[in-house]
Amino acid sequence: MKDLAAELTRLQHEHLYRRRRIIDGPQGVHLSVDGQKLLSFCSNDYLGLANHPDVVKAMQDGITHWGVGSGASHLVNGHSVAHHALEEELAAFTGRPRALLFSTGYMANMGVIAALCGRGDFVFEDRLNHASLLDGGLLSQARLQRYAHADSNALALKLAKRDSGEKLVVTDGVFSMDGDLAPLPELSQTAKQHDAWLMVDDAHGFGVLGEHGGGCVEHFGLNMKEVPILIGTLGKAFGTFGAFVAGSDELIEYLIQKARPYIYTTALPPALAEATRISLKLIQNEHWRREKLQTLIKQFRQGTTELGLQLMESSTPIQPLVIGDNAKALAMSAALLEKGILISAIRPPTVPEGTARLRITFSAEHSESDVEHLLNALEQIK
Ligand SMILES: *Cc1c(COP(=O)(O)O)cnc(C)c1O
CB distance 124 to 142 below 8 Å: no
Residue of 74, 167, 236, 366 marked catalytic? 236
Q: Is 190 in the pocket of ligand 1 (CB under 6 A)?
A: no
Pairing of strands 122-126, 167-172: parallel
- Is the model's pLDDT at 49 over the cut of 90? yes
Q: How confident is the model over 304-332, as a mean pLDDT? A: 95
Per-residue pLDDT tens over the stretch 67-126: 999 999 999 999 999 999 999 999 999 999 999 999 999 999 999 999 999 999 999 999
What is the average pLDDT score of the chain?
Answer: 97
pLDDT given for residue 35 in this prediction: 87
Q: Does domain 19-47+287-381 have CATH number 3.90.1150.10?
A: yes
Domain 53-285, CATH number (from 3.30.465.10, 2.40.160.210, 3.40.640.10, 3.30.930.10): 3.40.640.10
CA 379 to ligand 1 centroid distance, Å = 32
Strand partners, 123: 144, 168
Backbone angles phi, psi at 23, to 5 degrees: -90, 135
- Going by alpha carbons, the residue nearest to atom 14 of ligand 1 is 203
CA 215 to ligand 1 centroid distance, Å = 15
The boundaries of every CATH 3.90.1150.10 domain in the chain are 19-47+287-381
- Is the model's pLDDT at 179 over the cut of 90? yes
Q: Is 176 in the pocket of ligand 1 (CB under 6 A)?
A: yes
Backbone angles phi, psi at 358, to 5 degrees: -95, 115
pLDDT given for residue 163 in this prediction: 82
Residue 369 annotated to the active site:
no
Q: Among residues 271, 176, 185, 168, which one has the least CA distance to residue 226?
A: 185
Q: How confident is the model over 331-356, as a mean pLDDT? A: 95
DSSP string, 245-273: EEE-HHHHHHHHHH-HHHHTSPPPPHHHH
pLDDT given for residue 382 in this prediction: 83
The boundaries of every CATH 3.40.640.10 domain in the chain are 53-285
Residue 161 annotated to the active site:
no
pLDDT given for residue 218 in this prediction: 98
Q: Is 233 in the pocket of ligand 1 (CB under 6 A)?
A: yes
CB atoms within 10 A of CB 91: 19
Q: Would you place residue 299 in the very low, low, confident or very high pLDDT band (cuts 50, 70, 90)?
A: very high
Q: Would you place residue 147 in the very low, low, confident or very high pLDDT band (cuts 50, 70, 90)?
A: very high
Residues in the chain: 382
Beta carbons within 8 Å of 118's beta carbon, 6+ residues apart: 140, 141, 142
Per-residue pLDDT tens over the stretch 345-364: 999 999 999 999 999 999 99
Q: Is 130 in the pocket of ligand 1 (CB under 6 A)?
A: yes
| Coil/strand/helix, residue 30 | strand
Q: To the nearest whole percent, how much of the chain has pLDDT over 70?
A: 100
CB distance 144 to 177 below 8 Å: no
Per-residue pLDDT tens over the stretch 256-269: 999 999 999 999 99
Q: Would you place residue 136 in the very low, low, confident or very high pLDDT band (cuts 50, 70, 90)?
A: very high
pLDDT given for residue 4 in this prediction: 97
Query: Which of 10-19, 56-65, 346-355 has maximum average pLDDT?
Result: 56-65
Q: Is 104 in the pocket of ligand 1 (CB under 6 A)?
A: yes
Residue 52 annotated to the active site:
no
* Candidate from 176, 216, 265, 350 with most ligand 1 atoms within 8 A of CB, to mutate: 176
Q: Among residues 319, 261, 226, 320, which one has the least CA distance to residue 140?
A: 261
CB distance 357 to 345 below 8 Å: yes
Q: Among residues 230, 355, 258, 282, which one has the least CA distance to residue 51?
A: 282
